[in-house]
Structure 1
Amino acid sequence: MKENTDGDNVTLEDTLDSLNSRSFGPLLLVPAIMAVSPIGAIPGMSIVTGCVLMLIAIQMIFSSGRPWLPQRLLDFSFSRETLTKGIDKTLPWAKWLEGFTSRRLQTITHAPFHYVIATIVAFLALLFIPLAFLPFAVAIPGTAIALFALGITVRDGVLVILGFAVSCAAIGLAIYAWPF
């Protein structure tokens, strides 16, 4: 990690370093939530989010613990005050979510299961393409990916198991409603 000499700014690289191997979780969570939300109903958006999720999942399989991002993006900085305000705004939501999560079955949130999760996320991201032709069908694999992302982030294996269950539903939907 590069040492930040400016005490008033935080870089994206600093933020990812503080998350260690859990940094894949939030990176998966953002596009997964976009796919599940009404934003995912915008024509073409599900394919864009699916491609982003695919890239992140491939990095999970082949990287050495932290996602690769272009140096220009890693050097993006924002004020420590902005970070603090963002944390303060999301803290009530995080505390609410914490009531549903805990460090359960942590073993399945680490390697070698980490690679299994990444492979399933990549496959689910591929399902976004055919499911994009059905209204809101991407919400099911998007929900599975969001559960995986939360499970990785908070080290909750129960969320990962729920992600596996919802993945089965997404695969069933894709087989049942295959548009080709």
Structure 2
Amino acid sequence: MPASAELQTASDVVRQARKALDGATSSVGEVIDALGVASYTPLLIVPSLALVSPLSGVPGFTSVCGLLIAAVSLQQILQRPNLWLPGWLRRATISTDRARSAMLWFTRPARWLDTFTKRRLRGLVTPPLARLPQGICLIFGMVMPLLELIPFSSSILGAIIVVLATGMFMGDGLLVLIGMMLAMAVTGGLIVLI
């Protein structure tokens, strides 16, 4: 799917998600609706960035983000024309003040990703090879709820998903390749720990 005309960079995604934050609490559904995505990848960037922010310390937050990442990745792999999420996941909320602080925190990493990325190695971001990074995001999303009690594990997985999703969104196969190499290294480390 092509990227939305409005959302062209990781910074655009962060900015648009921040605009969706309103009231005392904000829901997953409100942020998704505000992104108005024509591509699934912005919906991977936002929760994965949140996982490398201080929000990852909120009890249950890692599980919600992991399930969201898994649901989006699966539907991206299946090439569904419209995203479906269960009502309970769309209704999951967080304090708007806390979410805004996190958005400000990950403005800088998003800008850095924007300056680093460019269109290259396009074969890795188009089918059939695009299924590899999408599959990694799906697997990492599914295991996040299981790793909630292991310190920093969700932040590490979230950082890798940020790299993969930004690479897919920006059409940067080199960034995707770096993300896949990081994923293999981390997976090996997790297997040793378990």
Deviation at 1:62, TM superposition (A): 1.0
Residues in 2 aligned to 1:108 and 1:50: alpha-carbon distance in whole angstroms: 24
Query: How do residues 98-109 of structure 1 correspond to structure 2 at under 5 angstroms?
Result: 98-109=114-125
1:68 matched to 2:83? The reply is yes
- For the pair shown, the structure with the greater C-alpha radius of gyration is 1
Residues 1:155 and 2:171 are matched in the alignment: yes
- 1:96 deviates by 4.9
User: Hey, what does 2:55 align to over in structure 1?
Assistant: 39
- What aligned pairs does 1:20-59 form with structure 2 within 5 A after superposition? 23-59=39-75
Are the counterparts in 1 of residues 167 and 174 from structure 2 also a CA contact under 8 Å? yes
SS of the residue aligned with 1:16? coil
Partner of 2:151: 135
What runs of 5+ residues in structure 2 fail to find an aligned partner? 1-32, 86-106
Q: CA separation in 2, counterparts of 1:16 and 1:69?
A: 13
What secondary structure is seen at the aligned counterpart in 1 of 2:40?
A: helix
- Mapped partners of 1:93, 1:125: distance in 2: 21
| Closer/same/farther in 2, CA of residues 170 and 129 from structure 1, 3 Å limit | farther
Q: Secondary structure at the match of 1:138?
A: helix
Q: Is the 8 A contact 2:113 2:166 kept in 1?
A: no
Q: TM-score, normalised by structure 1?
A: 0.69
Counterpart of 1:165?
181
Q: Structure 1 residue 60: deviation in Å?
A: 0.9
Quote the Cα distance in structure 2 between the aligned partners of 1:67 and 1:152.
18
Match of 1:145 in 2: 161
Aligned to 2:18: none
* Residues 38/117 of structure 1: CA separation in 2 closer, same or farther (3 Å cut): same
Instruction: Please state if 1:119 is matched with 2:112.
Output: no
- Partner of 2:101 in structure 1? none
SS of 1:152's equivalent in the other structure is helix
- Distance (whole Å) between structure 2 residues aligned to residue 129 and residue 96 of structure 1: 29
Question: Hey, what's the Cα distance between the residues in 2 that align with 1:24 and 1:156?
Answer: 16
Task: Name the Cα RMSD after superposition.
Answer: 2.9
Identity %: 29
Q: CA deviation at 1:115?
A: 1.7
1:171–1:153 distance in 2 versus 1, CA, 3 Å: same
1:126 is displaced (CA, Å) by 2.1
Secondary structure of the corresponding residue to residue 41 of structure 2: helix
Q: Which amino acid aligns with 1:16?
A: V
Partners of 1:50 and 1:125 within 8 A in 2:
yes
1:87 aligns to what? none
